[in-house]
Chain A
Amino acid sequence: MRDGMPVVVTVREVIDETPTVKTLRFDSEFAIRPGHFCMVWVPGIDEVPMGFSSPGSITVQKVGEATAALTSLTPGDRIGIRGPFGNGFTPNGRVLAIAGGVGVVPLYPLAVNGSVDTFILGARTGTELVFARELSDLTDLKIATDDGTAGYHGFVTGVMDSEIDLLSYDTICVCGPEMMMKGILDRLSDAGIADRGQFSLHRYMKCGVGVCGSCTIDPEGLCVCRDGPVFTGDQIINSEFGTYARDASGQRKRV
């Protein structure tokens, strides 16, 4: 057992990515691989899992109490970071990345390090696209918005169906809302290449280090925090993924 006390970092810069998403840049960096996450301690509020958007930043969407507090931080504020945790993405060959909303965060470092050939980026609306400008320089970027205000009018799966030759990719890295990811997994499965998919899952977490069991998924009992958060499509195709998850008390709820 190693000392895993939170590392206290100072927020150096707050960048508005969209009306609901902000990047918090720290005064220190962590040794991350793309897809790693950390437990972010917002003193007095809670501790929540967040993907790293770079070795020295997280990118946060306001969805609950802790993320509301995070997105209202200003330079000079301090928070605690435990991590990096998890397995991260392990791409090889020709790589397609697919992100929905703030799900782009763990995939962004993968594009920055030059691993991604094609990137499908989706959002509810044009102003909620995160890292679109940067990704267009780094990858062959294709955009989809639910309301058609930018790019393809519809979901990322619509772009997959109409513009992508799935079999030409060796690895398909995915992060976003669970039903979006399920739609992608179904397509990979239909094409017989579920094992080429690498999906970054989100589950309620408490410990982040594979001890408490809050984030285990049925039926194998894998811990999203320790065995994941990235799983291959064949690992999760016959699992709770796409059907249900558990809340803080461990009760099942539909996703």
Chain B
Amino acid sequence: MITLLKDQVSVGGVDLDNHLILAAGVLGTTGASLSRMRRQGAGGVVTKSIGPVPKEGHAGPCLIPLAGGLINAMGLPNPSRNFVPELETLSGEPVVVSIFGGTPAEFGEVASWFEGIAAGFELNLSCPHAEGYGAAIGSNPAMVRACTEEVAAFGRPTWVKLTPNVTDIGSIGRAAEEGGATALVAINTVRAMRISIDLRRPVLGNRFGGISGPMIFPIALRCVYDLYEACSIPIIGCGGVSSAADTIEMMMAGASAVQIGSAVYDDSSVFKTIADELYSPDGVPAAEIVGCAHA
């Protein structure tokens, strides 16, 4: 398989140690956990999404492993502003703070708490199971643009994470780009549910949730491909990436880097595992393959 030359990586204004980033919502609840993912090979990390007020999240079950993926409806649990001290020990590290809000002003308020701490921001405009947040906003181009503008005004790298649960992801990507996003992250989870046939009821406490992991990789790949056609800012591929081959495939679709989340379920050192296979001294520069499948 083709390998990459290990070189300096900078995506959307954030300098990374490699192309493999910890995705939001996975082992990103505490500074210690984020540090552990860095030690285990993540080139950068994205925090659990932080909102304007503390939230406990949905009643359980919140996450169920399936054959080929994870279904979850966590419900955006987060300590809000009390997350700031969690990042004290990560100063200078490539830590991107994921934020959510119900209005552009709320996005701006949360971003202001982390202005001097975060290497960048990632707007969660894509959580599929939190009423009034996430995808409820992220499927409306005007709201996407307004929220992005509010956060981009801090002058820090601003990534926007998109939902696949829309008809035309390209139009949402363009709205984020027009709002000042420095990179797009595609995708968040795909709307999904499971029912316990014995109990005749949805198995998630929230009834519905989103699915991640290998079973959504082809969906994510298609979204990245579409965004590469529609937009001109860098794209970070996210959704089911669990191997070096997946990483290469995402890059060929147009991703400048990838985020990895669910794959930590099978291997908490997945970043190192992938990096060992992805890079070699005689590899090609990443720029040579990013978007090459569009030729």
* CB nearest to B56 among chain A residues: A248
Known: A1-B214, A250-B48. A47 touches B60 (CB 8 A): yes
Interface string of B190-225 (1 = CB under 8 A from A): 000010101101010100000001100000000000
In the complex, are the beta carbons of B66 and A1 less than 8 A apart?
yes
A:133-165 near B, CB below 8 Å? none
Interface string of B61-74 (1 = CB under 8 A from A): 11111111110101
Known: A249-B54, A250-B48. A212 touches B29 (CB 8 A): yes
Q: How far is the CA of A217 from the CA of B78 in the complex (A)?
A: 16
Interface string of A73-113 (1 = CB under 8 A from B): 00000101010000000000000000000000000000000
A251 within 8 A of B: yes
B82 within 8 A of A: yes
In the complex, are the beta carbons of A249 and B77 less than 8 A apart?
yes
Known: A221-B32, A249-B79, A250-B30. A206 touches B66 (CB 8 A): no
B232 within 8 A of A: no
> Which residues does chain B contribute within 8 Å of A2, judged by CB atoms?
65, 67
B:31-65 near A, CB below 8 Å? 31-37, 48, 54-57, 59-65
In the complex, are the beta carbons of B33 and A221 less than 8 A apart?
yes
Q: How far is the CA of A211 from the CA of B266 in the complex (A)?
A: 10
Distance of B224 from chain A, by nearest CB (Å): 22
In the complex, are the beta carbons of B66 and A248 less than 8 A apart?
no
In the complex, are the beta carbons of A251 and B63 less than 8 A apart?
no
In the complex, are the beta carbons of B30 and A246 less than 8 A apart?
yes
Out of B31, B36, B62, name the residue touching A207 (CB < 8 Å).
B62
Q: How far is the CA of A251 from the CA of B66 in the complex (A)?
A: 30
Q: How far is the CA of A213 from the CA of B62 in the complex (A)?
A: 12
Distance of A250 from chain B, by nearest CB (Å): 4
Out of B36, B61, B63, name the residue touching A221 (CB < 8 Å).
B36
Interface string of A37-74 (1 = CB under 8 A from B): 00101011111100000000000000000000000000
In the complex, are the beta carbons of A214 and B265 less than 8 A apart?
no
> Which residues does chain B contribute within 8 Å of A222, judged by CB atoms?
36
User: Which one of A3-11, A16-24, A118-126, A185-193 is at the interface?
Assistant: A3-11
In the complex, are the beta carbons of B61 and A82 less than 8 A apart?
yes
In the complex, are the beta carbons of B203 and A206 less than 8 A apart?
no
In the complex, are the beta carbons of B55 and A3 less than 8 A apart?
no
